[in-house]
A = this chain, B = another copy of it.
Amino acid sequence: MKTLNDYANIVNRRLAEIPAVIPEGCFEIGEMPWLLSRSMRYSLEAGGKRLRPSMLLAAVDMLNGDGEDALDFACAVEMIHTYSLIHDDLPGMDDDNLRRGRPTNHVVFGVGQAILAGDGLLNAAFETMLNHACLRPERSARYLAAIREIARGAGVTGMIGGQVMDLHCERSGIADNRALEYIQYGKTACMFVYPLRAAARLCDAGEADLKALSDYGRAFGLLFQATDDLLDVTGAQADMGKTLGKDAESGKLTCVSAYGLRGTQERVARLHSEALAALERFGTRGAFFRELVDSMVSRTH
C-alpha cells in the first residue's frame, strides 16, 4: 500500500511539468508569460502535504482504478487549493503576509499579479483536466462527470460559497452555528468530498461507493477543520509557523468559539466514528483512509 508521502511525490513530479516553466523575457503568442508561470509556481511549490490530490489517487487505487489516468485530476485539485490560498491571503480578504513561513504571493509579486496568478491556477486546473480528457474519447463521459464533481466542490455552492460566508460573518460579526456549519462544510470539507467523488467517477463506481466516499470526505474534512481549530487554541501548531491563536484573537468563527473546547473534542470523536463507518464497505482496502483519519485525530492528543 502506498503512503501519503508516496502519493505526494507522484503529485509533485507531475506538478513540476504543468503548468509549463517559461524562460524569462519570452512572450511568444500562444505561450504563457514567464512572470505568470513564476508566480503560479511560487505558491504551487511552497510545500504542503498534497493531502487532497493524494486522497483522490488513493481512492482510485482503493477502487482498483487507473492511477496514471487520474493523475492530472489530482494535480488540478492541488492547483485549485493553491489558488484559493493565494486569493485568501490578499488584502481585502485575510490580508496575510506569511504562509507556511514564506512571504505570501502578493507580497512577492504585487496584489495585481497575485490576483492573476490565482485566476491562472483556477483556469489552468480546468485546462489540465480538459487536455487530459480529450486524449481518450472513449472515456469522455466519465471524465466529464469527474471534472464536474471537482468544479462543484470548488464552486459557488462549495468552496467559494464557504469563503463568501466566512468573509461576510467576519465583517458583520455574525456568530451563528448554522453559519459555522456552512462555512466549514463549504470552505474545508467540499475540497475533500468532491475530489473523492471525482475519483469514483473516474472509476465508473456505483452510487454506494460514491455515497461512502462523500460521507468519508465530509466527516474527514469537518474533522480536519475541527482539529485545526483545536490546535489553534491549544497552541500545538506554534512550531508549524502559524501565528499562535490568531483565529481565536480575530473573532473568527471557529468550532471552539461555537462549541467550546469540550464540545469540539466531542465533535472530533463523533466525526472520527462517522469517517470509520463510511469506510466499512471497503474492508481492508480502506486501510489508507482509516490510518489517515486516525492520524488526524491523534494530532490533538
Task: Tell me the A residues contacting B by CB distance below 8 Å.
Answer: 19, 27-33, 35-37, 40, 83, 87, 90-93, 106, 110-116, 118-120, 122-124, 126-127, 130-131, 133-134, 137, 140-141, 143-145, 147-148, 151-152, 154-157, 160-161, 163-165, 167-168, 171, 178-179, 181-182, 185-186
- Please state if B151 and A130 are interface contacts (CB–CB under 8 Å): yes
Please, how many angstroms separate the alpha-carbon atoms of A204 and B148 in the complex?
Answer: 22
A119 to B37 alpha-carbon distance, docked (Å): 19
Residues of B within 8 A of A148 (CB): 127, 130-131, 133-134
Contact of A123 among B120, B143, B156, B181 (CB under 8 A): B156
Instruction: List B contacts of A87 (CB < 8 A).
Output: 115-116, 119
- Among A91, A119, A122, A127, residue most surrounded by chain B Cβ atoms (within 10 Å): A119
Tell me how far the C-beta of A294 lies from the nearest C-beta in chain B, rounded to whole angstroms.
26
Say whether, besides A27-B182, A181-B29, A36 and B160 are in contact (CB < 8 Å): yes
A83, A130, A131 — most chain B CB neighbours (10 Å): A130
Which of A83, A106, A168 has the most CB atoms of chain B within a 10 A radius of its CB?
A168
**Nearest opposing residue in chain B for A80, CB measure:** B123
A32 interface neighbour in B33, B161, B171, Cβ under 8 Å = B161
